[in-house]
Amino acid sequence: EHCPKLDYVLLIMMGNAIFLLASAVMQIKAAAVISITIALLLYPVLSLVGILRWRQGSKEAAVFALAWSFLVVGLVVQAMRDLGYVDHNFFNYYWPPFASYTEMVVIMAAMGMKVRRLRRQKDDAEFKYTEQLERSKTELEGLVVERTRDLIQEKSKAELEARTDSLTGTRNRRSFFAETKKILSQPSVAHQSY
């Protein structure tokens, strides 16, 4: 997402790893040496990618870059030892496997940091979404109350217009009969009329 062109470097590294495996299985020593050399030249690029992503704001990339750099230094020391440029000793013999193990553990820690950050972002998004839903609900309830009040007023106005003559403002015939029926249906009025 942030370094798309560097994805090609990763693809080349994966292809090179497959080539190295095939060379080792078929015991083609010259091809294996070339593949290892290519890998050693490309490994520092991943440290640079990690540093670049760290500068773009990814904390876990800094952890990755540190661990990967530790591994790269170990592999360079091993290559220098194997080529005879560095004396063979306890330190440079065990550094590559220790660096590889450390790199694996630190990358798992970086992944944990990333998962924790993503979980925090998800929780924040859910909170904002819930908060927005509550605001929308309150606004909608307010609109419903306001519209209901308007409808009641319009209904009362329409009923008044239906009961009165628009020219004179007096009650019309329908209103007169409805009111009379209502009065006559009351028990005290009905009892007095007998």
pLDDT number for residue 136 = 93
Residue, of 151 and 56, whose pLDDT is higher: 151
In angstroms, the CA 68 to CA 42 distance is 12
Confidence of residue 162 (pLDDT cuts 50, 70, 90): confident
pTM over 0.75: no
**8-state DSSP, 86:** S
Q: Contact at 8 Å (CB) between 63 and 52?
A: no
Q: Contact at 8 Å (CB) between 118 and 125?
A: no
pLDDT number for residue 159 = 82
In angstroms, the CA 192 to CA 194 distance is 5
Q: Contact at 8 Å (CB) between 63 and 109?
A: yes
CA angle 24, 25, 28 (to 5 degrees): 50
pLDDT of 60 higher than 60: yes
How far lies 129's CA from each of 76, 115, 117, 118, 124, in Å?
Answer: 51, 21, 18, 16, 9
Confidence of residue 45 (pLDDT cuts 50, 70, 90): confident
**8-state DSSP, 162:** H
Whole-number mean pLDDT of the chain?
A: 83
